[in-house]
């Protein structure tokens, strides 16, 4: 083999090697990936929030009064049920919660407590300047008292032992939605007015204590209890 041929081969190999060395960085560049992070908004999962009264002031808007030390929000199921009877005052800005289960005395003094699902009352709810907003109100032996005007278009269920009171000349409760009355009592006092538009039957719904009384009482000038669609009273004895 001549020196020229050997030189040519060496030059060719050198040329191919040079080509590989030039392609190397391009391949490495294609394999590289740029990572990026995107910030997402905070999310809260549906949770049960219990009143514990840890703030010692009885105020709904105090975070320390709740499990987790945070005032419940729109994704939360709220439970008011402690060993010792408590008076809980709702007095502040509007609040929306998912559901409400109340075994205590809840006074809504200002603002609106909105309940997007069911509001179930075993204790007492008193509207003293504020409002309760819901589309599904169930009184399970509990009571609702209004001292202002409340117009309610949602479902109303009143089980045995529950009561509805409108107290005062400016107090009124008007229900225009589907209604079931099972052994409930009604009190229109001092000019208060109660109107239950869509109920055809009232059931005494006696329990094991058949001596129990159910009361319809209108006392004071201008006080009224009106059930314009009522056709039948089932069970019990009507006394005036």
Dump pLDDT digits (tens) for 126-155: 999 999 999 999 999 999 999 999 999 999
Q: How confident is the model at residue 237 (pLDDT cuts 50, 70, 90)?
A: low
Q: What is the pLDDT of residue 65?
A: 98
Strands (E), 81-227: 87-91, 95-97, 99-102, 105-110, 112-115, 119-121, 124-127, 131-134, 136-139, 143-146, 149-152, 155-158, 163-167, 172-175, 179-182, 185-189, 193-196, 201-203, 216-219, 224-226
In the numeric block, the tokens 């294609």 are attached to 30
User: How high does pLDDT run on average in the chain?
Assistant: 85
CB of 210 closer than 8 Å to CB of 232: no
pLDDT tens digits, one per residue of 28-48: 555 666 666 666 555 455 699
- pLDDT the model gives residue 13: 46
Q: Indicate the pLDDT class of residue 15, thresholds 50, 70 and 90.
A: very low
Residue 193: band (very low, low, confident or very high) from pLDDT cuts 50, 70, 90: very high
Predicted pLDDT at 203: 86
Looking up tokens 């419940």, which residue turns up? 72
Tens of pLDDT, residues 204-230: 766 555 557 789 999 999 999 999 999
The CA–CA distances, whole Å, from 28 to 18, 24, 31, 33, 79 equal 16, 6, 5, 10, 60
Q: How far apart are CA 121 and CA 142, in angstroms?
A: 5
- Alpha carbons 219 and 240: distance in angstroms, whole number: 13
Confidence at residue 84, expressed as pLDDT on a 0 to 100 scale: 87
38 or 17, which is more confident: 38
Q: Which two tokens stand for residue 240?
A: 């005036």
Alpha-helical regions (H) of the chain = 3-31
pLDDT for position 214: 85
Q: How confident is the model at residue 2 (pLDDT cuts 50, 70, 90)?
A: very low
Domain locations in the chain as residue ranges: 1-31, 47-234
Greatest mean pLDDT among 40-44, 100-104, 235-239: 100-104
Cα–Cα distances (Å) from 127 to 68, 156, 221, in that order, read 27, 17, 22
């Amino acid at each position: 083999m001549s020196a020229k041929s050997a030189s040519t081969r060496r030059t060719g190999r050198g040329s191919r090697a040079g080509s590989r060395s030039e392609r190397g960085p391009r391949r490495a560049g294609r394999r590289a990936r740029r990572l990026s992070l995107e910030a997402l908004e905070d999310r809260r999962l549906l949770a049960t929030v219990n009143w514990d009264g840890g703030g010692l002031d009885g105020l709904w808007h105090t975070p320390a009064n709740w499990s987790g030390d945070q005032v419940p929000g729109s994704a939360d199921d709220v439970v008011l049920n402690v060993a010792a009877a408590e008076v809980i005052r709702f007095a502040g800005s509007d609040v929306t919660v998912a559901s409400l289960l109340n075994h205590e005395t809840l006074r809504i003094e200002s603002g609106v407590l909105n309940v997007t699902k069911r509001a179930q009352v075993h204790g007492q709810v008193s509207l003293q300047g504020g409002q309760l907003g819901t589309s599904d109100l169930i009184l399970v032996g509990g009571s609702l008292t209004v001292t202002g005007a409340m117009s309610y278009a949602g479902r109303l269920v009143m089980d045995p032992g529950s009561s509805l009171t409108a107290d005062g000349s400016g107090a009124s409760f008007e229900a225009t939605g589907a209604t079931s009355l099972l052994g409930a009592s009604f009190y229109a006092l001092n000019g208060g007015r109660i109107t239950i538009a869509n109920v055809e039957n009232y059931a005494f719904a006696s329990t094991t204590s058949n001596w129990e009384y159910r009361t319809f009482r209108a006392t004071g000038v201008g006080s009224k209890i009106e059930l314009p669609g009522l056709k039948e009273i089932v069970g019990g004895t009507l006394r005036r």
